[in-house]
């Protein structure tokens, strides 16, 4: 991640606001909280790696029989309540980065100002609320599962943006409505296999990103809807499309259709949760579209669980499908075969799968939970699903079983 926040600015703001307040009746307070997951994953497929995010290069399967790199992470958060209205949050998360290393990265660092008790403004690195559980998607303790269903959550792996966030809460009878708008930009470095079959990384840049989300809560019911819109560029893939352009107008047309160079990317998400106490059921549906080689996707899941004392067994069904074409005739001109093949492999590289997961969460102590989960994933078409690092012996389009164990904690 090359995203750098003006930390110096943040610190000076904290100091500037913090010092005069020391004399006030409500003294500024500083609190440190943390969360983490220690998890291991075993995959039945040993010719490729299962990863939990497209930003990770290494996982369970080929690289290691039992991988602790898929789900393990540690988050630390410093919250400064400077005045009753002004607060600041800095959260650092250590997890596997695009180069396979575990390194801390700044997840959020922002200053929050409550204009009224129900209207708040944030500036800095803020949350990107694209999905129902995305605000706490990295806090394993906060969700029933080992990891949020990838059929939805993998489609937008980035969870923060540098910019501003406005949140407005309103109360109508017993209904609480929270409307949120986020505007900003984010960069993410992701690993991929290049044309020479070597490991490479590329930088995805999202600009002019606008996310509008709304949450309605009443008693045990929660409904979520979000719309996101941004301009996406992956400049590392431009040379490929420049090569297409050398074939004249036909090549230009292909480049225009599939390149990722300031293209509009849109996502719509809907979610619902019902949790009366002894049991819960929740589901989400999301659809993404862009005129790029990244496929238009539709993903959804439904998940339910029943609480038996400290144990919560749960069951999830999830599916992700590609709505756009996964192949193209390409140029079909003499000499264009390698280019056509490259483009087709990129189109086909998008995941398409369905999965059934069954697991149990055990809240054995007040700050800790242990989870065990079994996932059966079916890859459809010639998809590799969420597997990376595939070896020559790998056959796409099959099914994979995963077994995961995790300890989640908060403090």
Other CB atoms closer than 10 Å to residue 200's CB: what's the count? 12
Closest by Cα among 329, 346, 334 to 247: 334
> CB under 8 A: which stretch of 37-45, 97-105, 190-198, 214-222 binds other proteins?
214-222
Residue pair 376/40 in contact (Cβ under 8 Å)? The answer is no
Residue pair 56/389 in contact (Cβ under 8 Å)? The answer is no
> CB under 8 A: which stretch of 75-83, 239-247, 320-328, 398-406 binds other proteins?
75-83
Work out whether 127 is an interface residue with other proteins (CB under 8 A): yes
Other CB atoms closer than 10 Å to residue 57's CB: what's the count? 23
Q: Which residues of 74-102 are buried (b: 16+ CB within 10 A; e: fewer)?
A: bbbbeebbbbeebbbbbbbbbbbbbeeee
d(C-alpha 132, C-alpha 109), whole Å = 21
First to last CA, the chain: 26
**Cβ proximity to other proteins, 29 vs 327, nearer residue:** 29
List 25, 171, 197, 325, residue binding other proteins (CB under 8 A): 171
**CB 3 to other proteins: min, Å:** 18
Closest by Cα among 73, 75, 35 to 52: 73
List 47, 79, 214, 238, residue binding other proteins (CB under 8 A): 79
Work out whether 217 is an interface residue with other proteins (CB under 8 A): yes
List 3, 17, 100, 136, residue binding other proteins (CB under 8 A): 136
The 267-306 site mask, x for binding other proteins (CB under 8 A), equals ---------xxx----------------------------
Within residues 21-50, the interface with other proteins by CB under 8 A covers 31, 33, 35
**CB 174 to other proteins: min, Å:** 4
# residues contacting other proteins (CB under 8 A) = 36
d(C-alpha 214, C-alpha 118), whole Å = 14
Count of alpha carbons within 13 Å of 237, Cβ hemisphere only?
25
Among all chains, which residue has been given the structure tokens 């998607």? 137
List 245, 307, 376, 382, residue binding other proteins (CB under 8 A): 307
Work out whether 399 is an interface residue with other proteins (CB under 8 A): no
Provide the binding-site residues for other proteins, judged by CB under 8 A.
Answer: 31, 33, 35, 75, 77, 79, 87, 89, 91, 108, 110, 112, 117, 127, 135-136, 139, 141-142, 169, 171, 174, 176, 217-219, 276-278, 307, 310, 363, 366-367, 369, 410
């Amino acid at each position: 991640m090359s995203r750098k926040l003006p930390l110096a600015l943040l610190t000076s703001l904290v100091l500037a606001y913090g010092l005069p307040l020391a004399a006030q009746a409500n003294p500024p307070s500083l609190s440190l909280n943390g969360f983490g997951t220690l998890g291991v994953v075993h995959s039945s497929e040993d010719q490729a790696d299962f990863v939990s995010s497209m930003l990770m290069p290494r996982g369970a399967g080929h690289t290691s029989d039992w991988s602790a790199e898929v789900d393990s992470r540690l988050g630390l958060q410093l919250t400064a309540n400077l005045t009753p209205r002004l607060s600041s949050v800095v959260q650092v998360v250590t997890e596997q980065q695009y180069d396979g290393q575990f390194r801390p990265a700044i997840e959020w660092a922002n200053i929050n100002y409550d204009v009224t008790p129900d209207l708040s403004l944030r500036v800095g690195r803020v949350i990107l609320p694209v999905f129902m559980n995305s605000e706490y998607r990295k806090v394993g303790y906060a969700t029933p599962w080992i990891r949020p269903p990838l059929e939805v959550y993998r489609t937008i792996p980035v969870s923060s943006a540098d910019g501003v966030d406005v949140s407005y809460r309103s109360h109508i009878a017993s209904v609480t409505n929270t409307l949120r708008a986020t505007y900003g930009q984010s960069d993410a470095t992701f690993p991929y296999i290049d044309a020479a079959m070597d490991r490479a990384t590329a930088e995805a840049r999202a600009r002019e990103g606008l996310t509008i989300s709304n949450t309605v809560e009443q008693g045990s019911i929660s409904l979520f809807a979000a719309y996101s819109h941004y301009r996406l560029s992956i400049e590392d893939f431009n040379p490929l499309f420049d090569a297409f352009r050398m074939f004249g107008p036909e090549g230009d047309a292909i480049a225009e259709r599939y390149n990722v160079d300031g293209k509009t990317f849109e996502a719509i998400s809907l979610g619902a949760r019902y949790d009366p106490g002894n049991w819960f059921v929740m589901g989400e549906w999301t659809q993404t579209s862009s005129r790029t080689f990244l496929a238009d996707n539709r993903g959804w899941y439904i998940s339910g669980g029943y609480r038996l004392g400290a144990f919560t067994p749960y069951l999830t069904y999830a599916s992700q499908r590609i709505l756009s074409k996964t192949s193209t005739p390409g140029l079909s001109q003499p000499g264009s075969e390698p280019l056509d093949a490259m483009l087709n492999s990129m189109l086909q590289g998008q995941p398409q799968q369905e999965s059934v997961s069954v697991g149990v969460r055990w809240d054995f102590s007040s700050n800790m939970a242990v989870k065990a989960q079994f996932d059966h994933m079916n890859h459809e078409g010639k998809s590799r699903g969420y597997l990376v690092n595939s070896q020559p012996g790998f056959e796409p389009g099959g099914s994979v079983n995963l077994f995961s164990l995790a300890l989640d904690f908060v403090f």
